[in-house]
Amino acid sequence: MNQVSVININSPFLDQKPGTSGLRKSTLKFQEEHYLEVFIEAILQSLVDLKGSTLVVGGDGRYGNIEAIEKIVQICIAHKVQKVIVPKYGLLSTPATSHLIRKEKAIGGIILSASHNPGGIDGDFGVKLNISNGGPAPEIITNKIFKASQLLTSYKICKIQLPDFSKYGTYPYDETTLEIIDGLTDYSNLMEKIFDFDQISDFLKKDFSLIFDAMNAVTGPYAKNIFVEKMGLERNCVMNGNPLKDFGGLHPDPNLTYASHLADLLLNKKSYSFGAACDGDGDRNMICKVK
């Protein structure tokens, strides 16, 4: 049996606003002792039928992503969540999380992202909850989370060694099973069912060049998997495609200010026919097309 620790804290602890689906603060704030753990405890206490359930956990790869996932898994083990699904490297976009929740019939998903805000130790970090339908938690649940966060005097955690998230596998911990999965395949397969990749590929290879800016955030691996591996486009069709803890100093907000290089390629130099960029967790985008 893995030992569960009960950690006592002072309450109220968090400065989350009622009615919000997540908590977004500076990275340094989330580095404070107990801060993340208390919010996760409040989330788990607000979900019904937790025992016997499945929970998805992943993030956009910003600073602190893996460390936060480890703590969340340890808290889930303490609460006897039946299955926790984590993608390889802890990388999962918000749209892919939504799909995975529905596919696995999960009770919900915890997404680690501060969306379009900059990352790194001097940037921002965030936690948000999506529920069983794949969408953001509604106000009735977020209000429960807020009330729980204000009343908590302790949280439960099982401080055990977890496997390396760079390898696939299934790992049992008492009543909880941790699954480390391929976070790309399910989502790209879904896209392939919705869209005709062969037809799109033929069109793009003829006379309609494409450039995609992932802004060194989570959508880079998805873009390379879909555009390069599945559609057969050149690898240079994806800019800034490697997720980095600080987004390589970029601000992952896809607009004309922060994606100015992409905009210049499309709107001024007219180097490509079509371009797009995504934010940190892949649920906000900008599209540019040459007239």
Which amino acid appears at position 272 of this protein?
Answer: Y
Which amino acid appears at position 281 of this protein?
Answer: D
Which amino acid appears at position 206 of this protein?
Answer: K
Strand ranges inside 27-175, DSSP E: 54-59, 83-87, 108-112, 124-131, 154-157, 169-173
Each residue of 211-222: b (16+ CB within 10 Å) or e?
bbbbbbbbbbbb
In the chain, what are the helix, strand and coil shares in percent, each to the nearest 5?
Answer: 35, 25, 40
Contact 102, 134 (CB under 8 A): yes
- Counting Cα atoms < 13 Å in the Cβ hemisphere of 35 gives 18
Paired with 289 in beta bridges are: 274
Task: Please report the DSSP string for 154-196 in residue order.
Answer: EEEE-------TTS-EEEEETTEEEEEE-TTHHHHHHHHHHS-
98 is catalytic: no
Active-site residue, selected from the candidate residues 46, 115, 149, 188: 115
Q: Which residues are catalytic?
A: 115
